[in-house]
Chain A
Amino acid sequence: MKLKFIGVVVALPFLFAGCSKTSHDGMNSTKGRYASRSHDGSYTRTNAMHDSAYSQTGSGKAGAEAMQVVYFDFDSSKLNGREEEVIGEYATFLLSNPNTKLRIEGHTDERGSREYNVALGERRAKSVAKILASHGVPNDRYEIVSYGAEKPAVRGQSEEAWSKNRRARVAVTSNRAIG
């Protein structure tokens, strides 16, 4: 485990693709932009390396690409067990890499009121933060920003598009260890 994470810090962009493989056999998350729908109807996590809405954010190439996205139901900020597991892996990584800082973004679909959606997006980001905290990650390791419905991952007015926009996005913003 320890060796793996060291290797991962060197090649940060590939870290979470690696994690995906360990926990979700058969899902090649580096290829797809979004995870496919699982049988229970909820979205599974994905490595959103090519999330075009974020091409301008993040500090440095590694930061922009090392991210995870988890999805939510309408007007809900509840994570399912599988997604909690993903965030747990992130926590493990953070604890082994004390110089890494994160940014957790909360997002909603376009439906409803914009400012209410900002609040809902913050709830989603905080659901992620809560799991990090439960693993012992101090809260000065991450910042939370909610964009509400302002930065959709996908444009469109279908449940398919909306389900991809109801998300929290976790991204590494700095990692001084890389230099």
Chain B
Amino acid sequence: MRYNSSLSLAKKFFLLIITNTVFVNASYAVLDIEITKGVDAAIPIAVVPFKYQFLDDANSLDEKNIKADKIENVVTLDLYRSGLFNPINTSKLEQKPVDIKEVNYSYWRNLGVENVIIGKVTEIKPEIYQVHFDLVDIYNIPSNGKATSGSSFVSKTYEVSPKGFRKLAHHISDVIFESLTGVKGNFSTKIAYVNVNWANPNKVENYVLEVADFDGFNPQQVVISSEPLMSPVWHPSGKQISYVTFENQKAEIKTVDLITGKSKLITSFKGINGAPSWSPDGNKLAFVLSRDGSPNIYVLDTTTKKIKQVTKGWSIDTEPRWMPDGENIIFTSNRGGSPQIYKYNLRSGKTSRVTFNGGYNARGSVTPDGRTLVMLHKRDGNFEIAMQNLATGDVKTLTDTKLDESPSISPNGNQIIYSTTDNNRRILAAISLDGSVQLKLPARQGDVREPSWSPFL
């Protein structure tokens, strides 16, 4: 119960941070991050405001006229979003240690905090900052009760320009997250998605494939088309994205190189060319073609350039996704009458049905540990994101909104990003796989849909 009060404080605190962030990033129309569901069992942590020191008399980044996000603010929000941590409100702290020797163990233990992050940002040359942080375990008490430099179990120093603050902050979040949980953090990953501008239907840039930071910041336009773009999916290298385009008045699969921005045609057969998915080793692309009549799953070997047909028959077979083992492909099929998820084993050539719960299960993908299927699931007329334990078959819905779609799993398997509706518009939302934290991503102009989470970058 102790955490409930700190939770509501934390929520208010986040709104403050978000307001600041919006101000700083006003140039790209990011509106808000709204946390719609909070954590109960998350680990309390304190991210103490860092000390900022400048070469001149300035007292803040604002005074320096530098548009950068405070590193500790980004770290705080990252940790909160993970669902595993509950950063306490630090605005009314009586103690704000900067140096490890200033950490008073009993003070933090009385606040119920298990870990404290402290740090400082020092301008060492004009526009070049040294960033230092320490992660202190409050329950690892030195015999004399006083912290020393050895009390910090992570202590790191970086040099960065203000432009790199946000990226560095996400990296620091990764370091902290992995140190405390043993699981790699998602904070430096990216998302791809399709932004559709409905405001002016005759405008040329109607459909835009974009890439942004995992939290929706720093959106970059990758492909712009006046005809639909859909189904973006990352190559495991993180350097390319395959997608479906209708720019030639028919469906085609293309791959865009994120460095050059150039797109390369992959398939343009008669009928459907859709639902691309890269194998874990990045050598094979599974997709859907209907060139022989019905939509079936095919696999292109990019080294031999050969295309192999995987599923046969007259039903709809679509949405192939490789399982992490690289030997199985799950897909959606209506062969049994309604859309359900099936699994095809590339070695044995055998197909087995995976979902049995409900009349509509589609767009499946499997967590990196191979244990959980995440899918679009229809319940009581609503389309929700659900997960199924692949060992027991138990199904659990994660969302309770009406028109959710396109779930995509984070590379560490902790979170799902998906598309939902808000005030008659499509936006992106994220939920932790344990269902504990749910949040909406920054709202953009028009519809934002079909998010695809990058691999670790």
**A contact set with B: CB distance below 8 Å:** 52-53, 55-57, 75, 110-116, 118-120, 122-123, 143-148, 150-151, 155-157
Q: Is B250 an interface residue (CB 8 A)?
A: yes
- Residues of A within 8 Å of B227, CB to CB, are 56
Choose one: B249, B272, B421, B424; the contact of A119 (CB below 8 Å): B272
State which residues 40-89 of B face A: CB under 8 Å. Answer: none
Once the chains bind, are A55 and B202 in contact (CB under 8 Å)?
Answer: yes
In the assembled complex, B437 has its CB within 8 A of some CB on chain A: no
With known contacts A118-B274, A122-B295, A150–B230 Cβ distance under 8 A:
yes
Min distance, Cβ A119 to any Cβ of chain B, angstroms: 4
Known A119-B318, A145-B250; judge A113-B332 contact (CB<8 A): yes
Taken together as a complex, chains A and B put the C-alpha atoms of A112 and B295 apart, in Å, by 17
Contact present for B228 and A156 (CB under 8 Å): no
**Residue in chain B with minimal CB distance to A77:** B316
Contacting pair B332 A147 (CB below 8 A) = no
Q: Which of B272, B319, B402, B449 contacts A146 (CB 8 A)?
A: B272
Interchain CB contact under 8 A, B228 and A116: no
Report the minimum CB–CB distance from B411 to chain A (whole Å).
Answer: 22
Which of chain B's residues have a CB closer than 8 A to the CB of A144? 271
Q: List chain A residues, Cβ under 8 A from B219.
A: none
Indicate if B38 sits at the interface (CB-CB under 8 A).
no
B-side contacts of A116, CB under 8 Å: 316, 318-319, 332, 334, 339, 362-363
Answer whether residue B345 sits at the interface, using C-beta atoms and an 8 A cutoff. Answer: no
A52 to B200, CA, bound (A): 11
B406 interface residue (CB < 8 Å to A): yes
Q: CA A75 – CA B231 in complex, angstroms?
A: 20
Min Cβ gap B7→A in Å is 32
Chain A residues near B274: list those with CB within 8 A. Answer: 115, 118-119
Residues of B within 8 A of A118 (CB): 230, 251, 272, 274-275, 295, 318
Closest chain-A Cβ to B100's Cβ sits at a distance in Å of 51
Across the A-B interface, give the 3 residue pairs with the lowest CB-CB distance, nearest first. A113-B362, A150-B228, A119-B316
Query: Total interface residues on B, using CB and 8 Å?
Result: 40
Contact B202–A56 (Cβ < 8 Å): yes
B376 CB-CB contact with A under 8 Å: yes
> Which residue on A lies nearest to B315, using beta carbons?
A119
Say which residue of A75, A112, A147 sits within 8 Å of B246 (CB atoms): A147
> Could you tell me if B272 and A151 are in contact, using CB atoms closer than 8 angstroms?
no
Q: Is B198 a contact partner of A114 (Cβ separation < 8 A)?
A: no
Within the complex, the shortest CB–CB distance from A159 to chain B, in Å, comes to: 11
Chain B residues positioned under 8 Å from A150 (CB to CB):
228, 230, 246
Cβ of B445 under 8 Å from chain A: no
Q: Which residues from B are CB-within-8-Å of A113?
A: 319, 332, 339, 362-363, 376, 405-406
Binary per-residue interface labels of chain B (350-366) against chain A in the complex, 1 for a CB within 8 Å, 0 otherwise:
00000000001011000
CB distance from A83 to the nearest CB of B (A): 21
Given the known A-B contacts A113-B363, A146-B272, are A157 and B201 also in contact in the complex, defined by CB atoms under 8 Å?
A: no
**Nearest CB on B from A147, distance (A):** 6
Task: A137 to B230: give the CA distance in the assembly, Å.
Answer: 32
B288 at the interface (CB under 8 A from A): yes
Which of B271, B319, B338, B403 is in CB contact (< 8 Å) with A115?
B319
Q: Known contacts A118-B272, A118-B318, A157-B402; can you find 18 more A-B pairs with CB under 8 A?
A: A110-B403, A112-B360, A112-B378, A112-B383, A113-B332, A114-B449, A114-B450, A115-B231, A116-B316, A116-B339, A118-B274, A119-B272, A120-B316, A145-B249, A145-B250, A147-B228, A147-B246, A157-B421
Secondary structure class of chain A's binding surface, majority of residues: mixed
Q: How far is the CA of A122 from the CA of B251 in the complex (A)?
A: 11
In the assembled complex, 22 residue pairs joining A and B whose CB atoms fall closer than 8 Å, in A order, are A57-B249, A112-B339, A112-B362, A112-B405, A113-B339, A113-B363, A113-B405, A114-B449, A114-B450, A115-B274, A115-B318, A116-B319, A116-B334, A118-B274, A118-B275, A119-B272, A119-B316, A122-B290, A123-B316, A145-B246, A145-B250, A157-B403
A118 to B290, CA, bound (A): 11
Residues of A within 8 A of B272 (CB): 118-119, 122, 146
Interface residues of B in 301-338 (CB under 8 A from A): 316, 318-319, 332, 334, 338
Assuming the A-B contacts A145-B249, A151-B228, A157-B403, are A115 and B288 also in contact, with contact meaning beta carbons closer than 8 angstroms in the complex?
yes
Q: Does B226 contact A (CB under 8 A)?
A: yes
Contact partners of A148 in chain B: CB under 8 A: 230
Q: Which residue of A lies closest to B338 (CB)?
A: A75
Contact of B383 among A56, A75, A111, A115 (CB under 8 A): A111
User: Quick one: which of B431-457 are within 8 Å of A by CB?
Assistant: 449-450
Chain A contacts for B295, CB-based, 8 A: 118-119, 122
**B159-170 CB contact bits vs A (8 Å, 1 = yes)?**
000000000000
CA distance A115 to B290 in the complex (A): 12
Contact B228 A112 (CB under 8 A): no
**B97 → chain A closest CB, angstroms:** 50
B271 neighbours in A (Cβ, 8 Å): 122, 144
Within 8 A of A (CB), among B185-240: 198, 201-202, 226-228, 230-231
Asked if A55 and B201 make an inter-chain contact with CB atoms under 8 angstroms apart, the answer reads yes
Query: Bound complex: CA of A143 vs CA of B271, how far in Å?
Result: 9
C-beta contact mask, B397-421 vs A, less than 8 Å → 1, else 0? 0000011011000000000000001
Residues of B within 8 A of A52 (CB): 201
Complex interface: chain A residues within 8 A of B383 (CB): 111-112
Which residues of chain B are within 8 angstroms of A111 by Cβ–Cβ distance? Answer: 383, 403
Query: Within 8 Å CB of B362, what residues of A?
Result: 112-113, 116
Q: How far is the CA of A146 from the CA of B378 in the complex (A)?
A: 23
